[in-house]
Amino acid sequence: MAQTDTLIHPRTFADATRPAARHRTLPKADTDIALSVHHDLTAAEPEWRAFEQVADLTPFQTFDWLSCWHRHVGEPAGVRPAIVIGRCGAEIKFLLPLAIDAGRLSRKLRFLGQDLSDYNAPLLARDFSGTFGADPFIALWQQVRDRLQADARMRHDTIDFAKMPETVGAQANPFLNLDVTLNASNAYQTTLGADWETFYTAKRSSATRRRDRTKLKRLSELGEVGFVTPDKDETPHTFETLIHQKARSFARMGVANLFARPGYAAFFRELAASDRLRPFVHISRLDVGTTQAAVNLGLTFRDCYYHILASYDDGDISRFGPGSAHLRELLHYAIDHRLARFDFTIGDEPYKRDWCDAEQKLYDHSAAATLRGWPVALISTARGRLKRSIKQSAPVWDAVLRMRAALSPLLRKRAE
C-alpha cells in the first residue's frame, strides 16, 4: 500500500497486507448484539478486568492504565466515560473504552485516555474476527453510535479517533473498516531472540559494537556503571529524575513539556509508585557512579516490553551515550525475562529504525455526528494530513526541528 494521506478503505488495506486471507468469506454476524453502556468506571471494573484476561488488547486498554488516567486527567477535565460492552448471550465479544470530551467547539467521541495512550483500540474476544466481517462491523458500529446519541449524557458532534493500530493482538483492528487516514507517526517493534549476544550481533555491525564498547568504557571511567531496577523506596526519587531530565530534553527540542499538562505528572507518579502494578510498570535506570545517567519507564504486558518514557542526563556524561547504553540494557533485560517482542511504540526517531524489524502504521478517523460537527471534523482531517506530510518529508521536518531548536533557549529557561 502506498504511504499517502488519502482516505484508505480498510478492506483494501487488509487485502494488501494479508494476502492469505484475501478471498476468505467471513460469516455474517448477528447485528442484534446486546449492548450496555457504563458511565462509571467502578461499575465496569469487574467485567473489564475479567475480560482483559482473555481478550486481545494492548496495555493501554487495561483497566489499571485507563482508570489511573481518568482519575488524574480525564475526570478533572470533565471527560465522561462511555464504556460500551457487547455481548452475544452471556459472552462478552468486545469492550469499547470510549469517552465524551466536551471541547470548546464541539462534543467529541474519543477513546478514553486517547492523547496519552500510544495505541487506541477496542478489547476483542479472541473469536471476534471470525464472527464480524467488515459489513457486520459497520452495522454494529452504527448501533453503538445510535445508542450513545440516544443518551443525553453521551451525545456528541464529532468522532475523533487517533493512533489506532493495524492489529489488536492477532486480529485485524475492526475500526479500520471506517474511513481512516494515516496518523502522522508510525510505530516500531523488534522480535527478540533467545539470548542477548546473538540478538545484539545480528542487529549491530561489528564497527557499531566496537563504538558501543568504547563509549561504555569512557562512561566507566567516570564511575561504576550499573543497570538498576529501584526498590519501592528508591522509585519516587528515580522517577523525579526522569521528569527533570525529560523537561530539559523537551526544552532543548523546543516542544511543550509533557509533564506540565494538568494531571500528567500525577498519572505517571501513581503508576511508578504502585507496588501492585509491578512488574506491569517497570522503572529502571543506568547509574554512572552516583549519577542517574538515564532513566526509563516501560510496560511489560504479556510477551512484550513497551518502551514508553526515556531520559538521560544532559551534562558532560551525555557525550558517551548513556541513553543508548540504557536501551541496550533494557533489550537485554527483556530477553532475560523471556519476552518475545520489544515495542518502541509511536514515534519516528531514527534509533528505533536501527533496532526494529517491523513497522506498524497507525490510523485516525474523524467524522461528523451532527451538522455542528462537520466543520470541526473537516478541520481535524485536514490538520492530520498536513501534520503527516510535514513529518514524513525529511527536508520539511528538518526545517521544523531547526526552528524548534532556535526557540529552545527560551523554553529551557522556563524549564529551569
- 268-300 pLDDT, tens digit per residue, is 999 999 989 988 999 999 999 999 999 999 999
| Whole-structure pTM value | 0.86
* CATH at 310: 3.40.630.30
Same domain membership, residue 97 and residue 28? yes
Q: Average pLDDT of 383-404?
A: 62
Same domain membership, residue 394 and residue 325? no
Same domain membership, residue 294 and residue 390? no
Within a domain: 1: no
Same domain membership, residue 176 and residue 30? yes
Same domain membership, residue 234 and residue 249? yes
Same domain membership, residue 167 and residue 245? no
Within a domain: 345: no
> For all residues of the chain together, what is the average pLDDT?
86
d(CA 34, CA 47): 15
Same domain membership, residue 381 and residue 332? no
Q: Average pLDDT of 138-153?
A: 93
Within a domain: 163: yes
Q: Looking at the predicted structure, is the pLDDT value of residue 123 above 70? A: yes
Within a domain: 37: yes
Same domain membership, residue 275 and residue 240? yes
Q: Looking at the predicted structure, is the pLDDT value of residue 376 above 80? A: no
pLDDT at residue 381, rounded to an integer: 72
Within a domain: 141: yes
Same domain membership, residue 158 and residue 23? yes
Q: How far apart are the first and last CA of the chain?
A: 46
Domain of residue 137: give its range.
10-187+361-398
Same domain membership, residue 25 and residue 171? yes
Q: Average pLDDT of 84-108?
A: 91
Same domain membership, residue 111 and residue 18? yes
Same domain membership, residue 231 and residue 149? no
Within a domain: 225: yes
Within a domain: 412: no
- Give the percent of the chain with pLDDT over 90: 71
Within a domain: 127: yes
Q: Looking at the predicted structure, is the pLDDT value of residue 180 above 60? A: yes
d(CA 181, CA 6): 6
* CATH at 177: 3.40.630
Tell me the pLDDT tens digit for each residue of 14-69.
333 333 332 233 334 444 689 999 999 999 999 999 999 999 999 999 999 999 99
**pLDDT band of 374, cuts 50, 70, 90:** low
In the chain, the number of structural domains is: 2
Q: Looking at the predicted structure, is the pLDDT value of residue 104 above 90? A: no
